[in-house]
Amino acid sequence: MSRPPVPEPLPHPVVDNHCHLDIARGDEPAVPVGEALARAAGVGVPRIVQIGCDLPGARWAVEAAATYDALVAGVALHPNEAPRLPSLDDAMAEIEALAAAHDKVRAVGETGLDFFRTGEEGRAVQEESFRRHIDLAKRLDKTLVIHDRDSHEAVLRVLDSEGAPERWVMHCFSGDAEFARSCLSRGAYLSFAGTVTFKNAEPLRAALAVTPQDRVLVETDAPYLTPVPHRGRLNASYLVPLTVRAMAEVRGDDLGDLCAALDANTEAAFGGAW
- Sequence ranges of the binding site for a divalent metal cation: 18, 20, 110, 147, 171, 221
Sign of the C-alpha dihedral computed for residues 251, 256, 261 and 266 taken in this order: positive
Burial class (CB in 10 A: 0-12, 13-18, 19+), 35: exposed
Can you spell out the DSSP letters for 189-220?
EEEE-GGGGSTT-HHHHHHHHHS-GGGEEE--
Pairing between strand 47-52 and 71-75? parallel
Q: 111 near 131, Cβ under 8 Å?
A: no
Please report, in range form, the residues annotated as the binding site.
18, 20, 110, 147, 171, 221
- Angle formed at CA 273 by CA 158 and CA 234, multiple of 5 degrees: 70
